[in-house]
Amino acid sequence: MNASTLPDLEQARFNMIEQQIRPWDVLDETVLATLFDVRREAFVPAPVRAMAFSDLELPLTVNGADTRETMLAPKVEARLTQELLLNANDCVLEIGTGSGYQAALIAHIAQQVTSVEIDSRLAGFAQANLQQNGVKNVKVETGDGRNGWGSTEYDAILVTGSVPVVPDALRYQLRVGGRMVIVVGQAPVMTACRITRTTAATFETVTLFETVIKPLRGATVSQFKF
């Protein structure tokens, strides 16, 4: 792939969507259109930008430093976005910002995204990516969001790393009718689930698909807001 040649770049994007993402049951037309509109290669670290459309996880390096984190494979990012069942007026909480690409996908559909990243280097990298790509409805904050973030309730929550069990604090940050998509379990057995808050005190869980992704990092750190 010659990323400097526009037709080749767009062909690679088309192939990613048609050959990797559609076959993974991502069929929502709004999500598919978003994948064309949000330029994935613009969020990928320069050393691996040539692999932006490959069917694999990519290492997230910032200024040459390995953060030990990765971008999820494109089909997983797309499926997670679809399974949030987003609406145009939704306010969304994302735990684990990474490169900012997942937040940009969500923000293209929803009204507002608050994304929490525990690694300050990644938070800065994501913020720069979002600004450079004109994404204005994502607020990146640095901190440990494993057990919720602030006191606001959200229409949707996405957790981009796996957890052994679902934190109750995150469940109760959903508005009634709100949906959380989260990968639960430990390698080699993990399951993506959608949890819907059906009443003030009850939740409904739907099993979506099996996958294996890196565990969500967690440690108490100082909060720094962009």
pLDDT in tens, 113-159: 999 999 999 999 999 999 999 999 999 999 999 999 999 999 999 99
Q: Is 10 exposed, middle or buried (0-12, 13-18, 19+ CB in 10 A)?
A: exposed
26 domain residue, yes or no: yes
**Cβ neighbours around 117 below 10 Å, total:** 30
- For residue 181, being part of any structural domain is answered with yes
Asked whether residue 92 is domain-assigned, the answer is yes
CA separation for the pair 1, 205 (Å, rounded): 41
Q: Which is more confident, 2 or 170?
A: 170
Number of separate domains in the chain: 1
Is 44 a domain residue? yes
Query: Under 8 Å CB-to-CB from 218, ≥6 apart: which residues?
Result: 118, 144, 146
Instruction: Indicate whether 6 pLDDT > 70.
Output: no
What pLDDT score was predicted for residue 7? 66
Q: What is the pLDDT of residue 226?
A: 32
Q: Is residue 131 part of a domain?
A: yes
pLDDT tens digits, 66-82: 999 999 999 999 999 99
Tokens of 218: 């967690």
Query: What mean pLDDT, rounded, does the chain reach?
Result: 93
Report the C-alpha gap between 212 and 217 in whole angstroms: 15
Instruction: Report the pLDDT averaged over residues 94-113.
Output: 98
Residue 109 resides in a domain: yes
Residue 61 lies in a domain: yes
Element housing 109 (H / E): helix 101-109
Is 1 domain-assigned? no
The span from the CA of 79 to the CA of 138, in Å, is 20
Select from 123, 156, 153, 155 the least CA-distant residue to 140.
123
CATH number of the structural domain spanning residue 122:
3.40.50.150
Domain enclosing residue 120, as ranges: 6-225
